[in-house]
Amino acid sequence: MTAMVTPGATLGVVGGGQLGRMFVHAAQRMGYVTAVLDPDCDSPAGRVAHYHVQADYLDEQGLTQLTQRCAAVTTEFENVPAAALRFLAAHCYVAPAAENVAVCQDRALEKAHFARCGVPCAPHAVIASDEQVIDSRLLPAILKTARLGYDGKGQVPVESHADLSTAWESLGRAACVLEKRLPLAREISVIVARSAAGQLVHLPVQQNLHRAGILAVTQVPAPDLSAALRRQAVQAAEHIAESFNYVGVLCVEFFVLQDGSLIANEMAPRPHNSGHYSIDACDLSQFDLQVRALTGAALVMPRQHSAALMLNLLGDLWLARGQQATEPPWGRLLALPGMHLHLYGKLEPRMGRKMGHLTVTGPDTTTAFATAQKAAALLGIAAF
């Protein structure tokens, strides 16, 4: 792609979830027309896009319709079949490329890519048969399905050799990665964007708190993270993107271990839940970067103008007050300073389902942190 795809053109996104919805919002604000491909008749992104192509991700008719409308297409989740992106790429500009997404879809390929880049990841073994003999040094471990896992789904703890076959059975004997359980001091992530011309920019390093395998709180800047570790994480993420010629927004999740070392956990070929704060706390959000990378516009380094914490709003908040789903107390919440409420338009709250998020901004880290704790208490989110 040489010329920039200019505002007025149509941009497409495969997948109709909340990430697609926020991409659509960013693209529309810049004057692009938007189209979403999703099989669901009532998806968060489908409801706000100009066009909704309601079709399965591998439906050639649906995919053709999308390419006929769009100058360029991106994806909002990593489990879109690589074949769908390859099909689209034969007819219009697609970023990130199918081959890149395919690497991010598979934990084994992903770890091999980290290793190629010289970025350490957790000691692991690929599990594909019953007879597999595993190294005792991997125990205790976590067995993770190689594909389709998210929010801690598709993961089972393995304490001993004897546990492994039951654990593998419980995951449907799918291809898995057995990963050594590591002593985490904290979790951080880095979002980078790379253009077709090779420009690279990044958001500030985010610190993430997971509860039951689901992201609960993101804090930026990451409190007391040394400049050396920050630099190391950014350089690793940039190198990971550059070395497979990636175009688009890429998020790399890292563990910081108790001995201070940095380990790459996984990566996502798209904007990431831990980057949502950038909409309200940065002059360019991760979705702005996604639009720019896709259209060939210049990538400019985002500047964080407010300290921020992001709290995920899970369906639990609607269901905690009794059997009947009840709305959280938005009115009282919005009376606090620096509240940016994002709801994704999902009608049915379910436990663990991401219904929205709240970004709390403040003039400094301490103020933002204190306000975020107040907001959490109001909503019934455990203190952090």
The residues binding ligand ADP (CB under 6 A) are 122, 142, 144, 149-152, 179, 181-182, 184, 187, 210, 213, 253, 265-266
Q: Which is nearer to ligand ADP, 1 or 209 (CB)?
A: 209
Q: How far is the CB of 214 from ligand ADP (least distance, A)?
A: 8
Outline where DSSP puts E strands in the chain.
Answer: 10-14, 33-37, 51-53, 72-75, 93-94, 124-127, 141-145, 155-158, 176-180, 184-194, 200-202, 206-211, 214-220, 248-257, 262-268, 307-314, 339-343, 354-362
**Burial grade of 41 (CB within 10 A; 0-12, 13-18, 19 or more):** exposed
What count of residues does the chain have?
Answer: 384
Q: How far is the CB of 370 from ligand ADP (least distance, A)?
A: 25
Q: How far is the CB of 12 from ligand ADP (least distance, A)?
A: 25
Q: Which is nearer to ligand ADP, 172 or 322 (CB)?
A: 172
Q: How far is the CB of 215 from ligand ADP (least distance, A)?
A: 8
Q: What is the C-alpha separation between 353 and 101, in angstroms, rounded?
A: 24
Q: Which is nearer to ligand ADP, 25 or 180 (CB)?
A: 180
Q: Which is nearer to ligand ADP, 140 or 380 (CB)?
A: 140
Quick check: 343 and 41 in contact, CB under 8 A? no
Q: How far is the CB of 18 from ligand ADP (least distance, A)?
A: 16
Q: Which is nearer to ligand ADP, 113 or 144 (CB)?
A: 144
Q: How far is the CB of 295 from ligand ADP (least distance, A)?
A: 29
Q: What is the C-alpha separation between 117 and 120, in angstroms, rounded?
A: 9
β partners of residue 176: 127, 145
Helices 98-105 and 82-89: crossing angle, nearest 10°? Answer: 170
For residue 114, give the H/E element and its range.
helix 107-116
Q: Which is nearer to ligand ADP, 47 or 210 (CB)?
A: 210
Q: How far is the CB of 167 from ligand ADP (least distance, A)?
A: 14
User: Following DSSP, what letter does each residue of 56-112 receive, concatenated?
Assistant: -TT-HHHHHHHHHH-SEEEESSTTS-HHHHHHHHTTSEESS-HHHHHHHH-HHHHHH
Cis amide linkage into residue 7, ω under 30° from 0: no
Q: Which is nearer to ligand ADP, 206 or 361 (CB)?
A: 206
**Burial grade of 77 (CB within 10 A; 0-12, 13-18, 19 or more):** buried
Q: How far is the CB of 266 from ligand ADP (least distance, A)?
A: 5
- 3-class SS at 34? strand
Q: What are phi and psi of 129, to 5 degrees?
A: -155, 165
Question: Which of 146, 266, 245, 138 lies closest to 200, judged by CA?
Answer: 245
Q: Which is nearer to ligand ADP, 91 or 210 (CB)?
A: 210
Q: How far is the CB of 151 from ligand ADP (least distance, A)?
A: 5
Helices 107-116 and 98-105: crossing angle, nearest 10°? Answer: 110
Q: Which is nearer to ligand ADP, 340 or 357 (CB)?
A: 357
Question: Which of 115, 120, 71 lies closest to 91, judged by CA?
Answer: 71
Q: Which is nearer to ligand ADP, 81 or 152 (CB)?
A: 152
Q: How far is the CB of 218 from ligand ADP (least distance, A)?
A: 12
